[in-house]
């Protein structure tokens, strides 16, 4: 690497993460992780069924974010998930325009139109997955010249 060059970014290998990064966190554990570095979490977060009521604006997760059955009213502004986002069973009715997901997003049927809108805008790079259906939004059709 030459002076002034940026190192090549390595892809995230989520299968290599330690088991504790895939285990549901308590509210206290989540708050301790946020206290260490509130702007950029260097791991996946599993908050399945946690007592957490809101996530901070500008949260950047370097891995997957599991929010299934989390009792929150909305996703934070400027949320960036560098892996997949699972929001099945979360009682929200819209997705913020500032949401960015580099992997797949797992949603309930009610959020399909919102997710399609963000996918078309380039904010969701992976697939839109609705568990219990066979629907996976395909990539837009490209005409070859």
**How does the average pLDDT of the chain come out, rounded?**
80
For 129, what's the count of Cα atoms within 13 Å in the CB-facing half-sphere? 15
Q: Which burial class, exposed, middle or buried, applies to 69 when counting CB atoms under 10 A from its CB (0-12, 13-18, 19+)?
A: middle
> Per the structure block, which two tokens stand in for 95?
């997705």
In this prediction, residue 14 carries a pLDDT of 42
> Per the structure block, which two tokens stand in for 73?
């009213």
For the cut 60, the answer to whether the pLDDT of residue 10 exceeds it is no
Q: Band of the pLDDT at 122, cuts 50, 70, 90?
A: very high
Asked if residues 68 and 90 have their Cβ atoms less than 8 Å apart, the reply is yes
How far apart (Å, rounded) are the C-alpha atoms in residues 139 and 119? 9
- What is the rounded average pLDDT of the residues 26-55? 86
> Per the structure block, which two tokens stand in for 102?
């580099």
How far apart (Å, rounded) are the C-alpha atoms in residues 113 and 94? 9
In this prediction, residue 125 carries a pLDDT of 96
């Amino acid at each position: 690497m030459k002076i002034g060059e940026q190192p090549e970014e390595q892809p995230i290998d989520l299968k290599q993460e330690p088991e504790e990064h895939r285990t549901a966190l308590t509210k206290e554990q989540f708050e301790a992780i946020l206290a260490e570095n509130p702007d950029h979490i260097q791991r996946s977060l599993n908050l399945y069924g946690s007592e957490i009521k809101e996530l901070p604006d500008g949260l950047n997760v370097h891995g997957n974010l599991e929010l299934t059955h989390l009792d929150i009213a909305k996703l934070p502004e400027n949320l960036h998930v560098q892996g997949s986002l699972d929001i099945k069973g979360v009682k929200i009715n819209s997705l913020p325009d500032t949401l960015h997901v580099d992997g797949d997003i797992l949603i309930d049927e009610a959020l399909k139109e919102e997710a399609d809108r963000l996918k078309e805008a380039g904010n969701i790079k992976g697939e839109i997955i609705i568990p219990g259906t066979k629907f996976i939004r395909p990539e837009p059709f490209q005409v070859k010249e």
